[in-house]
Amino acid sequence: MHSPEQETMALQGDYDCIVVGAGVQGSFTAYQLAKNNQKTLLLEQFLLPHSRGSSHGQTRIIRKAYEQDFYTVMMEECYQLWAQLEMETNTTLFRRTGILVKGPEDDKDFQLFTDTLRRNRVPTETLTHDEFSRRLPHMVMMRGEGARIDTTAGVLYADRALRAAQGYFQSLGGVIKDGVKVLNIQPGSTVTVTTAAGEYRAKSLIITAGPWASTLLSHTGLQLPLTVVKINVCYWREKVPGTYGVDTGFPCFLQIASEGAEYHIYGLPSNEYPGLVKICYHMGSDTEPDRRDRQKDQTDIRILSRFVSLYLPGLEPEPALVESCMYTVTPDHHFVLDQHPSHRNIIIGVGFSGHGFKFAPVVGKLLCELSLGKVPSYDLSPFRIQRFLSQMKSSL
């Protein structure tokens, strides 16, 4: 992934910043650091691209519809920064489809979504039952359900986005070393990381290790309450090809509080695999990142099958294809974006809880700001480590 000149630079030693983990968060962090003229090394344990973390696959949803204002507010700049990367790399990364947010009108979560959309003046459409049947004839709206469309939302092309951010980072002089696993971290005013390929040193270190974050943080004496779950990424076959297609205007959707489902269910129109609609359950079963495929629980697939038969009669109710991915979940499902409590030049960006992709451009900017000692562009209190204090074990 790096040129001979970059290799020479790396062997000469020190960096302003080392980023560990080239998923979407590490890649965007490195991109922001390089834009800020920081001599940056991005280390990735696997050869790139890979499908063993959380950022692989072709698509992710981007939306302003959220339960909390602080996410909706951050999304404004996210859209701008995604568009900027599209321009810088001459790549299409976003396709607007809108997202249908649907659920029982009297459900607390549904109301949180609709209130946030209204308070933040997000362009939306509200569909009555009649309008819903005309507009989305192949989806069921139950009695008592409400339906809003966040018309700003759409699909991000995930694999392409990683390539674009990593490529632009390299074009600015950044160094990527893939197939290089960080084995140890020695904190200090200069941080040293040990890999099988040697030691690297930098003024600051940013940890964006996704599901492996706990292992890496243990080298710094910090334990955060992170849980890793395996997600069965299910694709469902259209009985009539194109019924739920991106070209026929079918939106992404977020189903809140459907019968038998404790967590939300989300879907994207058929797109990356023609004739197949991606629909997933927003939670999975515990796993260890290096043993992901030993987790064979299919509870989520059963919940999804039932949902598909009830709400999407134009799909076959058994998945045609199942891929795997992982979430790294915090107890409150909010991210961790903070400095290490004992080592201020170690910055942590972890725990994206299955909804972090869309935020990567702003996450990268914030982690870069923290590493440069700048005042962060957003209030980081929802993302501080402090909130876990009672659950945290620190040997420092």
Ligand X SMILES: Cc1cc2nc3c(=O)[nH]c(=O)nc-3n(C[C@H](O)[C@H](O)[C@H](O)COP(=O)(O)OP(=O)(O)OC[C@H]3O[C@@H](n4cnc5c(N)ncnc54)[C@H](O)[C@@H]3O)c2cc1C
Binding site for ligand X (CB under 6 A): 20-26, 43-46, 53-55, 60-61, 181-182, 208-212, 216, 231, 233, 280, 325-327, 352, 354-358
Considering beta carbons, is residue 102 or 142 the nearer one to ligand X? 102
User: Hey, how many other C-beta atoms are within 10 angstroms of the C-beta on 287?
Assistant: 21
* Amino acid at site 376: P
CB of 71 to ligand X, least distance (A): 10
Considering beta carbons, is residue 22 or 346 the nearer one to ligand X? 22
Structural tokens at position 179: 């197939």
Given the residues 72, 325, 340, 368, select the one marked as catalytic: 325
Half-sphere exposure of 139 (CA within 13 A, CB side): 26
CB of 133 to ligand X, least distance (A): 27
Considering beta carbons, is residue 131 or 290 the nearer one to ligand X? 290
CA of residue 308 relative to chain centroid, distance? 24
Considering beta carbons, is residue 28 or 311 the nearer one to ligand X? 28
Backbone phi, then psi, for 377, in 5-degree steps? -70, -15
CB of 57 to ligand X, least distance (A): 7
Sorted by sequence, the CB contacts under 8 Å of residue 12 that are 6+ apart come out as: none
CB of 223 to ligand X, least distance (A): 16
Considering beta carbons, is residue 105 or 332 the nearer one to ligand X? 332
User: Is the separation of the CB atoms in 287 and 295 below 8 Å?
Assistant: yes
Considering beta carbons, is residue 103 or 211 the nearer one to ligand X? 211
DSSP 85-137: HHHHHT---EEE--EEEEEETT-HHHHHHHHHHHHTT--EEE--HHHHHHH-T
> Rounded CA gap, 22 and 179, in Å?
11
Instruction: Give yes or no: 282 in active site.
Output: yes
Backbone phi, then psi, for 286, in 5-degree steps? -55, 140
Considering beta carbons, is residue 24 or 308 the nearer one to ligand X? 24
CB of 97 to ligand X, least distance (A): 12
Given the residues 63, 148, 230, 282, select the one marked as catalytic: 282
Given the residues 40, 59, 152, 328, select the one marked as catalytic: 59
Instruction: Give yes or no: 219 in active site.
Output: no
In this chain, which residue has its C-beta nearest to ligand X? 23
- Reference 22, options 36, 39, 42; nearest CA is 42
For 161, the 3-state DSSP assignment is helix
Structural tokens at position 363: 């996450």
CB of 162 to ligand X, least distance (A): 8
Instruction: Give yes or no: 60 in active site.
Output: yes
Sequence length of the chain is 396
Q: What is the DSSP letter of 270?
A: B
Given the residues 230, 278, 334, 340, select the one marked as catalytic: 278
Instruction: Give yes or no: 384 in active site.
Output: no
User: Hey, how many other C-beta atoms are within 10 angstroms of the C-beta on 58?
Assistant: 15
CA dist 141 → 103, 105, 144, 255 (Å)? 9, 11, 9, 10
CA dist 394 → 66, 149, 334, 341, 391 (Å)? 32, 44, 20, 9, 10
Instruction: Give yes or no: 50 in active site.
Output: no
**H-state helical runs in 219-356:** 299-311
Given the residues 17, 39, 56, 97, select the one marked as catalytic: 56
Given the residues 64, 264, 355, 358, select the one marked as catalytic: 358
CB of 177 to ligand X, least distance (A): 9
Widest CA span of the chain, in angstroms? 67
State the catalytic residues.
Answer: 56, 59-60, 278, 282, 325, 358
